[in-house]
Amino acid sequence: MAEALRLAALGRGRTSPNPAVGAVVVSGDRIIGRGFHTWQGIAHAEVLALAEAGAAARGATVYVTLEPCAHQGRTGPCADALIAAGVSRVVAAMEDPNPVVRGKGFALLRATGVRVEIEEGAAGPAEALNEPYLHFIQTGTPLVTVKAALTLDGKIAAPQDNDGWITSEVARANVQQVRHCSDAILTGIGTVLEDDCLLTDRSGLERSRPLLRVVLDSLLRLPLRSKIVESAAGDVLVVCTSAAAPARRTALEERGIEVIVADGQQGRTDIAAVVRHLAGRRYLSLMVEAGSIVNWAMLDGGIADKVLFYYAPKILGGLKSLPVAGGAGRQRRIDAILLNRLTVHSVSTNEFAVEAYVVKGQ
Ligand SMILES: NC(=O)c1ccc[n+]([C@@H]2O[C@H](COP(=O)([O-])OP(=O)(O)OC[C@H]3O[C@@H](n4cnc5c(N)ncnc54)[C@H](OP(=O)(O)O)[C@@H]3O)[C@@H](O)[C@H]2O)c1
Ligand SMILES: [Zn+2]
């Protein structure tokens, strides 16, 4: 199972909207087939592993990180392929909560006499591999993560000049990996105007589809000479309100940028509508890399599911440097937004990241 999990991880960023899955065929004490799914490769992990094992798969055991599928998608059901190959036992890390599978894969196997087991202790790592997929299947919305680089005193920008970086190169390389595993990334126009950021996946790794770059820009202030506009290649979505000038919209559309209108409160865009729009296009995950205002809107509005804060050993101080979440803030300590399931990751010497989940229904 450890090998199957290792293989599945090779598919990260390369399978969405499908889950990352790894499979291993074992005969006696030997691995005779290995496979992992990628969107471009189409074939599922089990089928690839069975193909490598060939006739020797008969009577073998298959370890797989997710319940084998039972439905016809771009490929036939893996449960059928396992049965046809004559395997005697399937050990899975977890059931697939997808309604088109959910126990049906196991049932198909059992019905033909294949032994089915769930490997104890494997569900945790298997779930971690497919966090966005599992979240999307269960909620119908993308997993929204607010990511930021912070000084130890929680600041994300200095009042005058933001040349240079808050975190180290190691931390920023780590962020590229996180971007690689995200389907979409979102920022506010404030950040684009200040930083002229690119917001691309520069991990150099293959993706199942381009990282969609989303900008919340109520009045379409996005400069045509910004890096985002100049680098747009069908991967930029700008969200505005109906108050935006039609000519601005046309100018962006002429540069291959998709513009949608989502009217929200106080003349700003409706973030929940944006998230629903992304869900409709089966984007499983959204990473927010924005400034104070949008970060707060995400947290205050109950849109964010989790935070990923990278802390640098620095203090900016001052009342004018921007906090990670600005806006109105909560007025009483007892109304603070609560987080749980907190993990501290060591990033580099003197740097750490905090990953935590927003408690919903507060
Ligand atoms: N350290 C880090 O990790 C990090 C990351 C990103 C940015 N930053 C820093 O953050 C600073 C920018 O912060 P910021 O707060 O000005 O910018 P921001 O949060 O990126 O963007 C704010 C703008 O987004 C627009 N917006 C559209 N719809 C919105 C909605 N529903 N809710 C909230 N805002 C909406 C608003 O302008 P309109 O009403 O005109 O649309 C708003 O002024 C920069 O200095 C940048 O360097 C730091
Ligand atoms: Zn399958």
pLDDT above 90 for 161: no
Phi/psi for 354 (5° steps) reads -110, 125
Amino acid residing at 344: V
Indicate the pLDDT class of residue 337, thresholds 50, 70 and 90.
very high
Preceding peptide of 17 cis, ω within 30°: yes
Say how many residues make up the chain: 362
Report the range of poorest mean pLDDT among 21-35, 155-169, 216-230, 345-359.
155-169
Closest-approaching ligand to the CA atom of 62:
2
Contact 208, 14 (CB under 8 A): yes
Give, for ligand 1, the residue of 196, 218, 266 to mutate: max count of ligand atoms closer than 8 Å to Cβ: 218
Angle value at C-alpha 130, between 99 and 75, nearest 5 degrees: 55
- Residue pLDDT, tens place only, 25-70: 999 999 999 999 999 999 999 999 999 999 999 999 999 999 999 9
Ligand nearest to the CA of 248: 1
Residue 322 scores a pLDDT above 80: yes
Percentage of the chain beyond pLDDT 70 is 100
Q: Which of 46, 67, 119, 351 is catalytic?
A: 46
Q: Which residues are placed with Cβ below 5 angstroms of ligand 2, an ion?
A: 44, 69, 78
Can you tell me which atom of ligand 1 is nearest the CA of 187? Answer: 20
For the chain, first and last CA: distance in Å?
38
Q: For the chain, what percentages of helix, strand and coil (3-state, to nearest 5) are there?
A: 30, 25, 45
- Residue 326, pLDDT score: 95
Using the mean position of ligand 2's atoms as its centre, give its distance from the Cα of residue 278 in Å. 25
Q: Is the pLDDT of residue 361 over 90?
A: no
Mean local confidence (pLDDT), 295-303: 97
Active site (annotated) includes residue 46: yes
DSSP 11: T
pLDDT at 196: 96
For the ranges 63-72, 158-167, 221-230, 283-292, the lowest mean pLDDT is seen at 158-167
Ligand 1 atom index nearest CA of 326: 15
Q: Relative to the CA of 217, which ligand 1 atom is closest?
A: 41
Nearest CA to ligand 1 atom 8: 291
Q: What is the DSSP string of 148-200?
A: EEEETTSEEE-SS---S-SS-HHHHHHHHHHHHT-SEEEEEHHHHHHH-----
Residue 33 alpha carbon to ligand 1 centre in Å = 49
Mutate to test the pocket of ligand 1, among 179, 219, 242, 268 (most ligand atoms within 8 A of CB): 268
Q: Please say whether the beta carbons of 238 and 257 come within 8 A.
A: yes
**293 CA → ligand 1 middle, Å:** 5
Residue-wise pLDDT for 247-257, tens only, equals 999 999 999 99
Report the percentage of the chain scoring pLDDT > 90: 98
Task: Determine the residue of 194, 215, 265, 351 to mutate for testing ligand 1's pocket, defined as the one with the most ligand atoms within 8 A of the Cβ atom.
Answer: 194
CB count in 10 Å sphere of residue 344:
11
Q: Whose CA is nearest to atom 10 of ligand 1?
A: 291
**Is residue 193 exposed (0-12), middle (13-18) or buried (19+ Cβ within 10 Å)?**
middle
Maximum C-alpha span of the chain: 70
Q: What single-letter amino acid sits at 151? A: T
Q: Determine the residue type at 42.
A: I
Mean pLDDT score of the chain: 97
Please list every protein residue whose CB sits less than 6 Å from any atom of ligand 1. Answer: 148-149, 156-157, 162, 166, 187-191, 194-195, 216-219, 221, 264, 268-269, 271, 289-294, 297, 322, 326
Q: Supply the pLDDT for residue 175.
A: 97
Q: Please tell me the distance from the alpha carbon of residue 240 to that of residue 260, in angstroms, as a whole number.
A: 6
> Residues 311-318: what's their mean pLDDT?
97
Residue with tokens 């090998």: 3
Q: Is the pLDDT of residue 285 over 90?
A: yes
Contacts of 201 (CB under 8 A, 6+ apart): 13, 176, 179, 180, 182, 207, 211
Per-residue model confidence as pLDDT tens digits over 182-239: 999 999 999 999 999 999 999 999 999 999 999 999 999 999 999 999 999 999 999 9
pLDDT confidence tier of residue 304, bands split at 50, 70 and 90: very high
Give the pLDDT of residue 162: 80
Rounded Cα–Cα distance for residues 222 and 269 (Å): 14
The torsion angles phi and psi of 257, rounded to 5 degrees, stand at -100, 135
Q: What is the spatial distance between Cα 194 and Cα 172, in angstroms, rounded to a whole number?
A: 19
What's the rounded mean pLDDT across residues 166-190?
Answer: 97
**DSSP one-letter code for 359:** P
Q: Ligand 1 centroid vs 170 CA: distance in angstroms? A: 25
Ligand 2: centre distance to CA 44 (Å): 5
Mean pLDDT of 123-152: 97
Beta-strand runs (E) in the chain: 22-27, 30-36, 61-64, 89-92, 115-118, 143-151, 155-157, 184-188, 212-216, 236-240, 258-261, 285-288, 306-312, 322-323, 339-348, 351-358
Which ligand is closest in space to the CA of residue 79? 2
Ligand 1: nearest atom to the Cα of 150: 1
Closest by CA to 93, choosing from 8, 181, 31, 33, is 8
In a mutational test of the pocket of ligand 1, which residue from 144, 150, 156 has the highest number of ligand atoms less than 8 Å from its CB? 156
Residues 317-337 have a mean pLDDT of 96
**CA distances (Å), origin 91, targets 62, 65, 120, 122:** 6, 8, 10, 10
